[in-house]
Amino acid sequence: MKLALLLLLLPLAAQATPCPDWPASRANSELAALSQQIAEWDDAYHNHGRSLVADEIYDQARERLQSWHRCFPTARTALADPLAGSSGTIAHPVPQTGLRKLNDAAVAEWINSRDDLWIQPKVDGVAVTLVYRDGVLRQAISRGDGRLGQDWTARARQLPAIPARLQEPLDAVLQGELYWRLDGHVQGRDGGVGARGKAAGLMARQTLDQQQASAIGLFVWDWPDGPANMSERLQALQRLGFGDSLHYTQPLRNAKEARSWRQRWFDQPQPFASDGVVLRQGTRPSGARWQAEAPHWAIAWKYPAGQALAVVQAVDFSIGRTGRITPILRLQPVDLDERRISRVALGSLQTWEKLDIRPGDQVAIRLAGLTIPRLDQVIWRSPERAIVHAPDPNRYHALSCWRLSSECQQQFQARLNWLAGKQGLNLPGVGPGTWSTLLAGQKLEGLLDWLALDSEHLQQLPGIGPRRASQLQQAFAQAQQRSLQQWLQALGAPAGFQLGAKDDWATLVARSHAEWMQQPGMSQNSAERLLAFFSHPEVQRLGVQLQEAGTVGFLPQENSPRG
């Protein structure tokens, strides 16, 4: 995690996040809970080498905590130093600086106001300081708080990526990133894949086997007291055995080139994960003047987040045609890959019950297939557990809600939508909006009441004039010409059911379980579902209603052409 004391320039969307409508007591409780959660993440990462949450979610959580502190300046919880828990005791010869993270507009402004600029990948690993004396590795120090870190010398000596002796016998302090080696890693396709946590975890161990040691690479991103000129510095690093520094540090003339390199490293295979790019001025102060804080001569430009941290505002429940209950999290809108996300569906009622997500909880959202938002994980829970009333799953099933009632509005309308849609009767110009209008006008109580509506009834409804009424009447008339097979699909007969050559409505409703079992390819479960459907009183009532309306598919075979 980028656990430096960062000067964050937040994106406009983050700045525009509204303040929660909390009384002071709840604000204190919420800020304390989030502060404690972030402290636990910091401790696990710094002191135990474990990354408990994705870096981008960590960054967004700290941004949110800062935002809440601005909303509630009198809250008693102090904004914790993210590095306060680092247990380092070894002083860095040259402090490790943090980096400001700028958004696109701020990056362009920063570039336009400077010269002698260079760009390199922001390698996703753990920072280290290497101290060489007379060309021999004497010390390796973890990032820590930038001033003090842990002694990693013993572990560093085990890593083939860190030369025990330089090509030249000189004194040097090098700063770089230890990373988990990846083969053909494409950041835009693969994401972070937990690479930083793997590197941190290995460096937290006392000993490494040969395979583990070989899995860690090194990218030297600076030589504080190396040659003053960047080109000379890079050439010297290559002579010392750090060729990646020259290969991955490129000169930069303008913002267009910066965007090009950033996109290239995002789209093309690299041997490491990276979460953005670093822009540096070639000329900067000597190492003696560096401090453990964000400098003015280097910034970070991160890649678009693959995950977004979202506040759950409410939990809704959608009831579908078959009675399936789908929980839907209503979110405080967040931006993800240039899309604004305000809702995400969970897979099932059981999933929601297991996760126990309530309003006020914070969740990580990502896009599946680059289009569909999905829940990745619950990040933390609000200390105040709001009450959520979920529908009774025993109340809804494939044979419930054939009539409109207060409890059946969703499933009933879902039945109507299916009935008129392509998978059902395929009625032209009839869709969810049509049914919503009819329901709002109290023209429907049963699933087929629309068959009896004439032009006069339809024109009584808002938005339906003579022309629209005529179109609907024509569509409703087409429904009466549909085949029995189409009607059964529209009414929700078990999936995959196909009429036999001699089947008609009367035969189907009279068929026993034993007779269903005699049908070709029939299983026990299929027979039970078909018997339940055709013997259900509401289904039989609908059949009678369609017969009385003269619907072709429901007339006896001698009176009805089969189509």
Active site residues: 122
Residue 362: closest CA among 321, 408, 311, 288: 311
Between CA 512 and CA 519, with CA 517 as vertex, the angle to 5 degrees is 105
Q: Computed from CA positions of residues 230, 233, 238, 243, in that sequence, does the dihedral angle turn out positive or negative?
A: negative
Helix, strand or coil, per DSSP, at residue 335: strand
Rounded Cα distance, 414 and 436, in Å: 11
Given a contact cutoff of 8 angstroms between Cβ atoms, the answer to whether 45 and 51 are in contact is yes
Q: How far apart are CA 134 and CA 137, in angstroms?
A: 9
Strand 325-336 relative to strand 307-319, pairing: antiparallel
Assign 239 to helix, strand or coil: helix
CB of 344 within 8 A of CB of 331? Answer: yes
Compute the residue count for the chain: 563
CA 407 to chain centre: 32
What sign does the CA torsion over 61, 85, 30, 18 have?
Answer: negative
Q: What are phi and psi of 132, to 5 degrees?
A: -110, 140
Query: What is residue 375's three-state secondary structure?
Result: strand
Q: Are 322 and 492 in contact (CB under 8 A)?
A: yes
Name which of 103, 124, 108 is nearest 2 in CA terms: 124
CA angle (490, 495, 496) in 5-degree steps: 110
Taking residue 280's Cβ as centre, other Cβ atoms within 10 Å add up to 22
